[in-house]
Chains A and B, each alone.
Chain A
Amino acid sequence: MRLRILRILVLAPLFGAGTASLFGQTASKDPASANPYPSTYKPLPRTDTVITDATILDGRGNRIEHGSLILHDGKIVAVGTNLKAPEGAVIIDAKSRWVTPGIVDPHSHVGDFPMPLTADDLKVNDVNEAVDPNSAQVWALHSITAQDPQFSRVRAGGVTTLQVLPGSTNLFGGRGVVLKNVPATTVQRMEFPGARASLKMACGENPKYSYGEKGRSPASLMGNVAGYREAWIAAQQYRRKWDEYDQQKDPKGEPPARDLKLETLAEVLRGDILVHMHCYRADEMAIMLDVAKEFGFKITAFHHAVEAYKIADLLAENGVCAAVWPDWWGYKMEAYDAIRANAGYLEAAGACVMLHSDFAVDAERLTVDAATAMGAARRAGLDIGEELAIKWVTLNPAKALGLDDRIGSLEAGKNADVVVWSGNPFSVYTKADQVFIDGALVYDRHDPHRRPQSDFEVGQPASGVRP
Chain B
Amino acid sequence: MKKWIVGIAFAAASIADAQTIAIVHAKAYVVPGSPPIANATILIRDGRIGTVAADATPPAGAHVIDAQGKIVTPGLMNSGTELGLVEAGPADTTDHAVTTGTLGAAFDIQYALNPNSTLLPVARADGLTRAVAFPSASGVPPFAGLGAILRLSEGPDILDRPQAAVFATTGGMVSSRVGGSRSAEWILLRMALDEAQRTVASKVEARGDMREHDPLLSRVNIAALLPVVRGKTPLAITAHRESDIRQAIKLADDYKLHIILCGADEAWRAAAALAARKIPVVLNPFDSTPSTFDQIGARLDNVAILQRAGVTISFSVPGVHLSHNAGSIIREGAGIAVANGLPWDQALKALTVNPAKTWGIANHYGTLEAGKDADLVIWSGDPLEPVSTAEVVFVQGKQVSLRTRQTELEQRYSPKHKNDPWPPEYR
Contacts and interface: CB of A to CB of B under 8 A. Distances in A.
B289 interface: yes
Interface of B: 2, 87-90, 118-119, 136, 169, 171-174, 176, 238, 240-242, 263, 266, 268-269, 271, 284, 286, 288-297, 299, 305, 318-322, 324-325, 328, 332, 335-336, 338-339, 384-389, 406-407, 409-410, 413-416, 418, 424
Contacts, number: 173
B319 A6 contact: yes
Given A2-B318, A6-B319, A428 B291 contact: no
B292 A1 contact: yes
Contacts of A456: 290
Nearest to B91: A333
Contacts of A122: 173
A34 interface: no
A1 B171 contact: yes
Nearest to A4: B173
B320 A10 contact: yes
A349 interface: yes
A149 B290 contact: yes
B410 A467 contact: no
17 contacts: A4-B173, A6-B320, A116-B292, A149-B290, A309-B413, A328-B320, A329-B325, A333-B89, A340-B410, A345-B415, A365-B336, A372-B386, A374-B387, A428-B385, A456-B290, A463-B297, A467-B268
A429 B338 contact: yes
Contacts of B269: 462
Contact of A335 (B88, B335, B339): B88
Given A375-B386, A426-B387, A380 B319 contact: no
Given A331-B320, A372-B387, A117 B291 contact: yes
A6 B332 contact: no
Nearest to B1: A379
Contact of A375 (B90, B172, B263, B387): B387
A119 B175 CA distance: 10
A457 B324 CA distance: 33
Contact of A368 (B263, B295, B386, B416): B386
Interface size class of A (residues with CB under 8 A): 35 or more
Given A361-B319, A365-B336, A428-B386, 4 more contacts: A1-B169, A1-B174, A368-B332, A428-B335
Contacts of A149: 289-290
Nearest to A422: B339
Given A119-B176, A340-B406, A330 B335 contact: no
A7 to B, nearest CB: 10
A359 interface: yes
Contacts of A335: 88
A272 interface: no
Contact of B297 (A331, A348, A359, A462): A462
Contact of A359 (B2, B240, B319, B424): B319
Contacts of B335: 428-429
Contacts of A153: 288-289
- Which of B88, B240, B318 has most A Cβ within 10 Å? B88
Contacts of A2: 263, 284, 291, 318-319
A119 B293 CA distance: 10
A233 B365 CA distance: 64
Contact of B413 (A345, A382, A462): A345
A3 B322 contact: yes
A116 B173 contact: no
A320 interface: no
A296 B387 CA distance: 42
Contacts of B241: 462
A463 B321 contact: no
Nearest to A157: B288
Nearest to B172: A119
A294 B418 CA distance: 28
A131 to B, nearest CB: 23
B289 A361 contact: yes
Contacts of B305: 466-467
Interface string A377-388: 011111000000
Interface in A414-467: 426-431, 456-457, 460, 462-463, 466-467
Closest 4 CB pairs of A and B: A428-B335, A2-B318, A375-B387, A332-B89
A371 interface: yes
Contact of B385 (A327, A371, A378): A371
B289 A1 contact: no
A332 B91 CA distance: 8
A348 B406 contact: no
Interface in A77-122: 115-119, 122
Given A328-B320, A375-B386, A431 B339 contact: yes
A379 B389 contact: yes
A341 interface: yes
Contacts of A324: none
Contact of A361 (B169, B286, B324, B338): B286
B320 A361 contact: no
A457 B136 contact: no
Given A115-B289, A332-B88, A1 B240 contact: yes
Given A115-B290, A375-B386, A338 B406 contact: yes
Nearest to A330: B324
A460 B296 contact: yes
A463 to B, nearest CB: 5
A117 B292 contact: yes
Contacts of B409: 337, 339
A296 to B, nearest CB: 31
Nearest to B298: A463
Nearest to A372: B386
A1 B263 contact: yes
Contacts of B289: 115, 149-150, 153, 360-361
A332 to B, nearest CB: 4
B291 to A, nearest CB: 5
